[in-house]
Amino acid sequence: MKNIVKTLILLLILSLQANPQSLVGIKLCIDPGHGGHDAANDRYIPETGFWESDGNWDKALHIKEILTELGAQVIVTRQGNNDSDDLPLSQRAGIANSNNVDFFQSIHSNGWQGTSNSTLMLFRGYDGQPVFPQAKTMGAIMVQRIYQANRTTGYSNRGDWSFYPDWGTSGLGVLRPLIMPGVLSEGSFHDYIPESWRLMNTNYRRHETWAMARSYLEYFNVGNATWGAIAGVVRDPEKNVTYYYIPSSNDQKKPVNQIKVTLMPDSIVFIGDDKNNGFFLFDSLAPGQYNVFYQAEDFSYDSSTVTVLPHQTVFADKYLIEAPNYDPPVVTNSSPANNASGISRLANIIVEFDIRMNTSATQAAFSISPSLSGAFIWESNNKRMIFNPSALLDTGTQYTVTIDTNAVTHFGTKMLDNFSFSFTTRSKLNLFALYPDSGAVEVSTTVQLRAEFDAAIDPYSLIGNIMLKDIDGNNISVAPDVTGYPYGKIIFEPQQPLDKNKSYVLTLKEGIKDMENITLGYTLEIPFTTTAETYVSGNVFDTFEEIGGWNDPEFSGSTTGTVPDVTTFSIVSTRKVNGSKSGRLIYEFANETGGVCRVYNSTKPNVGSNPSSEVGMWVFGDFSRNMLEYWFYYSGTTNVIVTIDTLDWTGWRLIKIPLSVVTGSGDKLFHSVVVRQTSGTKKGTLYFDDAQSDIITDAEELPAPNTFTLQQNYPNPFNPATMIVYSVPERVNVIIKVYDVLGKEVAHLVDEEKESGVYRVAFNSGSYNLSSGIYFYQINAGTNRAVRKMMLLK
């Protein structure tokens, strides 16, 4: 048997000597990190459209192809780039272990504040004490090869225990279970925008995997590659990028899109992409001398002579010079548009040309009537001229801009004809949305008053020019939301809830003005009446005191057209109907139409099947004019969408529907709240509280209480939460506290003014870390006091 083994080893050595660069007999596991397009986990860069999961997957396909051609057996941990392909870290390592591979590599790119771009390799263990010494050896090889290929600013080969000291010896989850050497590679930083654009190029990603392939040849000591590669970036030396770049790099200059690079004498043509990277690659080239020819629209032809060396890449970057253009210049765009009206007094005047212009001559050819002083700014390689007036434009005035034939291109050609356009400035501050409307009824007592204008509001002009009074002429104290002023929105709300079934008047006076010093010019009085309806809570199945089964909108596959980084659902104490918290949905749609924002509740509470029952929740509207929907299941999984109402109100409202409108048989499961984009605003904020069924409404059926009561909590005994219901016959300050059997206060539930009415408050013992036992809840309401006993059973 020993002789057979020796013979096999000898044959393998002879095979490798006869066929250098061979990885035959070597088994490798490649793990493309992450998976799918979950913005929370898959590293999306909105400025470029790059997803790390896409980049990792593409690199894995390239490296599998290259290593397979070299004779290796390659196992890839995932088979696509869908959310379902995002395997647990331990499962990824388990694939390597179960296949008994020789080496494992998890491919990633890095990210940190958008200002770095280095290469990092991580192995399991401490820097000086790796769990697998071979992993550190490979890390030292590969980190240098990727650094050389990606031309990053530096490199590090680190043990994960040293790199993440707060994790102790847990380290990276994908390396922890391995029974063979393995590394995690972070080739470059995908949030550094120049690099992010390069990573959008599949050939750039392929070039990084060639660096990996060279590393495997060196690590397994089977000989260096006998071929090489030519790569490079083509840039415009006259144009700078508009995003951050590392000063010591060449990334200041703008890459050229859609390049054509030809390699001679082999006549190989590379066509570049339009992803702002200017990258090209010729790989698998025999050593020797080549000529590289560069072409791009509007640029002069250029070339380089390059000598290819084995087992490495030779870089042939090129700055292409703009080709001379002796055509007469043409104005391609101007702003404001010709004959436009209602133009801002702050507007700049913009003229765009099709050819680079001589700035001094073109500025001299510019005139405006009535005349204005100002400064010129040039952009887009001197094809875009911006005139910034030094003072506000006059109100309600027609201006005419002229570029005469003395305007000259960079190449010395004059315009053939004068170019002129006119526009008229704004003359008044326009109100285009208001809540409540004049004469509105059934307005929430917690209304948020809104007036939306067509220009940013001067906050100092609101002093003495906006007021809220009741029908008796009493001033109502309000709290403003100053964040709306730059967007033309005056938003404020009463510091205390308004009285029910009472008339109020909102007054907007003529002195209100915008940041362009244009006044409203007239006084507007808006009378409205608050709701008379009184509610007693039905069967509350979600108090929104805890996140429970509610998920972020991006969790749902039905959510579409939102801005992921902004759109979110959480439990907050900012507003509430009862208890101390409510659910808050902040959403923003990316486009003007077609967006759907779904908040899914995985607990799917059962609201029964009684058609006469009503189901709903308290919703604090945002006046977005989008559509609110409730979604239900019947028969377990059949979805029913119920359109509830246009979000054309503010303040708390109990938004309910009869269960009879939910089609389908059997019990209904209330699983989602949805905002569907219509013709409303692109962004908004909603609050939700006390989702419930079997709702009792109508003040005629439910007279206002004339006595003070404290009811027994329900359920009782309870675990972990229970409800406390009480009533007060008049406006009074209410304090409710919970005590243990020793008289120690354990919870403070209520301390605020309450109008005459019936109220409920949730008590969740889980928020206070209480043990099983007897507790007492006490209410003090003016001169009234009551105490009841309840039992917590865990």
Q: Which two tokens stand for residue 209?
A: 């995997």
> Is the residue at 434 inside a domain?
no
Choose from 18-32, 326-340, 715-729 the range with maximum mean pLDDT: 326-340
Q: Is the pLDDT of residue 368 over 80?
A: yes
What pLDDT, on a 0 to 100 scale, did the predictor assign at position 41? 67
Q: Strands 27-32 and 73-76, how do they pair?
A: parallel
pLDDT band at 3 (very low <50, low <70, confident <90, very high): very low
Same domain membership, residue 675 and residue 594? yes
Same domain membership, residue 637 and residue 682? yes
> Is the residue at 446 inside a domain?
yes
3-state class (DSSP) for residue 718: strand
Same domain membership, residue 684 and residue 637? yes
**Kind and range of the H or E run holding 557:** none
Q: Residue range 668-678: average pLDDT? A: 96
Q: Is the pLDDT of residue 767 over 90?
A: no
Q: Residue range 83-97: average pLDDT? A: 92
Q: Say which CATH number the domain at 568 has.
A: 2.60.120.260
What pLDDT, on a 0 to 100 scale, did the predictor assign at position 760? 79
Same domain membership, residue 197 and residue 52? yes
Q: Residue range 479-501: average pLDDT? A: 95
Q: Is the pLDDT of residue 662 over 60?
A: yes
Q: Say which CATH number the domain at 45 has.
A: 3.40.630.40
Alpha-carbon Rg for the chain, nearest whole angstrom, is 35
What pLDDT, on a 0 to 100 scale, did the predictor assign at position 536? 67
Q: What domain range is 294 assigned to?
A: 228-319
What is the C-alpha separation between 574 and 586, in angstroms, rounded? 13
Lowest mean pLDDT among 10-14, 126-130, 228-232, 538-542: 10-14
Q: Is the pLDDT of residue 700 over 50?
A: no
pLDDT band at 101 (very low <50, low <70, confident <90, very high): very high
What is the C-alpha separation between 260 and 258, in angstroms, rounded? 7
> Is the residue at 232 inside a domain?
yes
Same domain membership, residue 274 and residue 176? no
DSSP 497: P
pLDDT band at 457 (very low <50, low <70, confident <90, very high): very high
Same domain membership, residue 718 and residue 656? no
> Is the residue at 55 inside a domain?
yes
Q: Read out DSSP for 394-463? A: PTT-EEEEEE-TT-BBTTSPBPSS-EEEEEEE--SPPEEEEESPTTEEEE-TT--EEEEESS-B-GGGGT
Same domain membership, residue 345 and residue 278? no
pLDDT mean across residues, the chain? 92
Same domain membership, residue 362 and residue 290? no
The answer to whether the beta carbons of residues 117 and 153 sit under 8 Å apart is yes
- The 3 state secondary structure assigned to 169-201 is CCCCCCCCCCCCCEEEEEEEECCCHHHHHHHCC
The answer to whether the beta carbons of residues 362 and 408 sit under 8 Å apart is yes
Q: Residue range 371-381: average pLDDT? A: 94
Q: Which two tokens stand for residue 298?
A: 């509007």
pLDDT band at 2 (very low <50, low <70, confident <90, very high): very low
What pLDDT, on a 0 to 100 scale, did the predictor assign at position 123? 98
Q: Is the pLDDT of residue 565 over 80?
A: yes
The model's pLDDT over 397-433, given as tens digits with 9 standing for 90+, comes to 999 999 999 999 999 999 999 999 999 999 999 999 9
The model's pLDDT over 238-290, given as tens digits with 9 standing for 90+, comes to 889 999 999 999 999 999 999 999 999 999 999 999 999 999 999 999 999 99
Same domain membership, residue 186 and residue 48? yes
Same domain membership, residue 57 and residue 37? yes
* Amino acid code (one letter) for 561: G
Instruction: Indicate the residue among 219, 241, 261 that finishes a domain.
Output: 219
> Is the residue at 326 inside a domain?
no
What is the C-alpha separation between 141 and 216, in angstroms, rounded? 9
Q: Residue range 778-790: average pLDDT? A: 91
What pLDDT, on a 0 to 100 scale, did the predictor assign at position 712? 83
Same domain membership, residue 206 and residue 163? yes
Same domain membership, residue 257 and residue 200? no
pTM: 0.56
> Is the residue at 12 inside a domain?
no
What pLDDT, on a 0 to 100 scale, did the predictor assign at position 656? 92
> Is the residue at 699 inside a domain?
no
Q: Say which CATH number the domain at 759 has.
A: 2.60.40.1930
What pLDDT, on a 0 to 100 scale, did the predictor assign at position 719? 82
Is the bond preceding residue 720 a cis peptide, omega within 30 degrees? Answer: yes
What pLDDT, on a 0 to 100 scale, did the predictor assign at position 5? 35
Helices and strands in the chain: count of H runs, count of E runs: 8, 52
> In residues, how long is the chain?
794
Share of the chain above pLDDT 90, in %: 81
Instruction: Indicate the residue among 219, 244, 270 that finishes a domain.
Output: 219
Domain count, the chain: 6
